[in-house]
Chain A
Amino acid sequence: MALTFARRTLGAVVLAVACCVLPAAARAEAADAGQRAFDRGDFAEALRVWQQRANAGDPHAQLGMGALYDLGRGVAQDATAAFGWYMRAARQGLPEAEINVAVMLDSGRGTPHDAEQAALWYARAMLRGNHRAEYDLAALYASGEGVPRNLGTAVALYRAAQGGGLTAATARLKTLQPIAPSAGVAAQSLTAATPLAPSGDVTPGNAPELVWSTPEQPLPVLYFVEVVGLDADGWHNVFTSYADLPAALADLPAGPGTYAWRVYTVARNTLHYAASPWTGFRVQAESSAPGPE
């Protein structure tokens, strides 16, 4: 007795689902001919349009190219090429691309497994509002994969994911027991965080994503980030912020500039802190931004 049903309609439904799930940011571009072609299943046309725009630096088109290669639509399936396109879009701060880069580094799809880089890209996606990235980064901190094992940070990240509606975080929080504060020895044993990004050249046009990793601390902490601008006259403060999670978006002046940043690990209930080393980065002028690779 066969109880299979909806097989004929399944294809149509799957296609309908496919048409509804491209990123909101990409869909917001009503004039995106590539998106329209993709929606109607004309993958060759989507490829033609997106390739042109992607090569011109459009991150949404680069994300679309990544999807075509990821799924093998209009091109032969090629996870490595997909990763490359996702990475180009991610470097421009597109959240969907950032989480895709993270999960592919995490799973070793299209690129060698690299948990440290995965953690970095999860953090970047988190800064752009992706709650899945909070949950996944929490898992890395809970296990010590790619980052120092830090249950306090894992708890903070799971709570953030929980606040974003990921109910699995609630169950995870029940299983985690952060190390209890140990009075007395705590103040002298704070460990400075390790800046992960940015360093070197930064793609202009988006607020730089400051990301650091931090080991378990003996008492509750928060972070204080400081960015200074460097010019011929010396240095001047351009951005400071407190953060509960190990990342922050730096709101910098428009245009090119050379900067240095560091992060303080600050005890919540004492005056003690530990400062990371300074890390330099440079925001290039728009016209001198690196082109497609």
Chain B
Amino acid sequence: MRTIILFASLAVALAAVTSAASAQPPAPAPAQAQDAQAKQPDSLVLYFASGRATIRPQDEALLDKAARLYRDGQPIVMIVSGATDSVGSATQNLQLSALRANAVVHGLESRGIPAEHLQLVAKGESEPAVQANAADERNRRVEITWR
């Protein structure tokens, strides 16, 4: 699984993505008990043009919608996960997915969501939404989930 997780407040840069890729992957932490009983998080999905990390004008309203779900005064974390189709190299796609997620993070920040509440995940082409066809345009996406 190719996945990169960064906190947006650290000003995600491509260099960070590259250096992070060489880090040793520690064993996953056990899930907390309360997380196990939490409901399935809600989500919103934005799609992207091939090879692009620009938010489409029609998706600005989706970002507005996501921002209008955020509640103050609690440690809610919005997770922004970027992904790509399988066109191109795996490394390029990893970087592209980070750029897409970063664009969405900036969009949420520009709507007043505190950066420390945003978590950026770059999946590259590793977890296609449409597994039967990894090149499917629906895999060029950023999913926003919260809990």
Q: A1 near B: Cβ within 8 Å?
A: yes
**Contact indicator A67/B74 (Cβ below 8 Å):** yes
Which stretch (A4-12, A212-220, A283-291) binds chain B?
Answer: A4-12
Residue from B1, B38, B68 having most chain A Cβ neighbours under 10 A = B68
Which residue from B25, B73, B119 sits with its C-beta under 8 Å from A5? Answer: B25
Q: B59 near A: Cβ within 8 Å?
A: no
Q: A132 near B: Cβ within 8 Å?
A: yes
Tell me how far the C-beta of B19 lies from the nearest C-beta in chain A, rounded to whole angstroms.
10
Majority SS at the chain A contact face: helix
Tell me how far the C-beta of B16 lies from the nearest C-beta in chain A, rounded to whole angstroms.
11
Given contacts A7-B25, A8-B26, A103-B68, contact A168 B111 (CB under 8 A): yes
**Contact indicator A11/B26 (Cβ below 8 Å):** no
**Contact indicator A107/B69 (Cβ below 8 Å):** yes
Per the 8 Å Cβ criterion, residues 143-171 of A in contact with B are 161, 164-168, 171
**Contact indicator B73/A2 (Cβ below 8 Å):** no
Q: B46 near A: Cβ within 8 Å?
A: no
Given contacts A4-B5, A10-B5, A171-B60, contact A17 B77 (CB under 8 A): yes
Chain B 100-140: CB-based contact to A (< 8 A → 1; otherwise 0):
00000001001111101101000000000000000000000
Query: How many angstroms from the CA of A18 to the CA of B110 in the assembled complex?
Result: 21
Chain B 18-29: CB-based contact to A (< 8 A → 1; otherwise 0):
001101111111
**Contact indicator A23/B23 (Cβ below 8 Å):** no
**Contact indicator B24/A5 (Cβ below 8 Å):** yes
Task: Please classify how large the interface on chain B is, using the bins under 10, 10 to 19, 20 to 34, 35 or more.
Answer: 35 or more
Shortest Cβ distance from B76 into A: residue: A71
Majority SS at the chain B contact face: loop
Query: How many angstroms from the CA of A109 to the CA of B27 in the assembled complex?
Result: 36
Given contacts A70-B71, A167-B110, A168-B107, contact A3 B3 (CB under 8 A): yes
Tell me how far the C-beta of B76 lies from the nearest C-beta in chain A, rounded to whole angstroms.
7
Which stretch (A94-102, A203-211, A224-232, A238-246) binds chain B?
Answer: A94-102
Residues from chain A with a CB closer than 8 A to the CB of B75 are 14, 17-19, 21-22, 67, 71
Residues from chain A with a CB closer than 8 A to the CB of B117 are 17, 21
10 A-B pairs with least C-beta separation: A18-B75, A132-B112, A96-B73, A67-B74, A168-B110, A23-B73, A5-B23, A96-B72, A8-B26, A167-B110
Please give 5 more A-B residue pairs, beta carbons under 8 A apart, in addition to A2-B1, A72-B38.
Answer: A2-B25, A17-B116, A21-B73, A71-B38, A168-B67
Some 22 contacts from A to B, beta carbons below 8 A apart, are: A3-B1, A4-B1, A5-B20, A7-B25, A14-B119, A17-B77, A17-B117, A66-B74, A71-B38, A71-B74, A72-B34, A77-B39, A104-B71, A106-B68, A107-B68, A130-B72, A132-B113, A136-B67, A139-B64, A139-B68, A168-B67, A172-B60
